Structure 1
């Protein structure tokens, strides 16, 4: 074989090799049909979890029935949350969210005016950077209740040193001289409309 034919053969082989390399390289970015983008190390990028403070859509709720003090009501709370009892107050917490249930003796039913004039100043003194109080009368399955919404800072996390801006919903239920306050809290911006509605709508007198 002549030198010219050998050179032509080398050129053809080189071109074919380059085409094969280009084709194989173009398919390495996304796995076929998977829709997941590979990371720089070749592993699929991790799937994002719920944003901080978002309660999962598949959260299960269980009925809470107090065993001490006033026991004439039930309310559903998220299953698996840590429970703390102190006097007439029971708190259920999980990560950045909480459900606080407090019972009290009250001869008269709370009104928007009484909550504005009495409860708001108390919470203002107790809550760090208390702001945006709004009082309204709303309907829940148990009947008409007074709702107070507001914002405040959480306590500083002892591990991370971070402070979270929280949104609060406080429902005041009243019947026959008894008041039960159910306060729901979580980070501002968390999508907990449905979970908080599920809890507040589940309240029932016994």
Structure 2
């Protein structure tokens, strides 16, 4: 039929990321802590706070924390359940353990605890967010490197957290 109008193509759907979702195009940069003898890649542009035992990197609702402490032996799933899990539970932030397992990462094996907890209240709004947390315990040089990755539940941070946890290395 001559002169018939055709409907314009449908617009592409708008991407709707949940709060705390780290974009797939995020660049990661190495952070080297010579005092702690480790290196880890973190998202570029995140705010860094140095601590006595490591460093923390934050951006909006997400964080990457690394601390190094002396340890006589390598962590095990049993030691994590016996020591760290009760400590986390005692913090009283609605702790919910999902699993404790041993995983292989590029920098070596680590004991991983996956859990949920409530965030600290936002200093301005007072809002508390439910966080999904992955805590890795690496062992080397008589020290334990504790890498803690946290972000809101339902944020799609699987790939970024894999990038960070695979990048942890002892120097």
TM-score by length of 1: 0.75
Distance 1:180 1:191 in 2: 25
Do residues 52 (structure 1) and 1 (structure 2) align? no
Q: Deviations over 1:69-108 (max 9, x none)?
A: 32x2211000000011121131100011000000011111
Aligned twin of 2:144: 179
Cα distance, 1:34 vs structure 2: 6.0
Distance 1:110 1:127 in 2: 24
Secondary structure class of the residue paired with 1:65? strand
Aligned twin of 1:35: 11
Secondary structure class of the residue paired with 2:148? strand
Do residues 61 (structure 1) and 37 (structure 2) align? no
Cα distance, 1:49 vs structure 2: 4.9
Distance 1:35 1:164, change over 3 A: same
Aligned residues: 168
State the structure with bigger RCO (CA 8 A, min sep 6), 1 or 2. 2
Do residues 203 (structure 1) and 157 (structure 2) align? no
Gaps of 5+ in 1: 1-25, 38-46
Do residues 168 (structure 1) and 133 (structure 2) align? yes
Cα distance, 1:158 vs structure 2: 2.7
Instruction: Give the alignment partner of residue 58 of structure 2, picking from 93, 108, 133.
Output: 93
Gaps of 5+ in 2: none
Q: Report the structure, 1 or 2, having the larger strand content.
A: 2
Is this contact kept in 2: 1:127–1:153, CA < 8 A?
no
Secondary structure class of the residue paired with 1:129? coil
Q: Deviations over 1:125-172 (max 9, x none)?
A: 225111124211111112221001111001121322321000100010
List structure 1 segments (4+ residues) > 6 angstroms apart after TM superposition: none
Secondary structure class of the residue paired with 1:197? helix
Distance 1:151 1:35, change over 3 A: same
Secondary structure class of the residue paired with 1:180? strand
Computing the radius of gyration from Cα coordinates, the structure with the larger value is 1
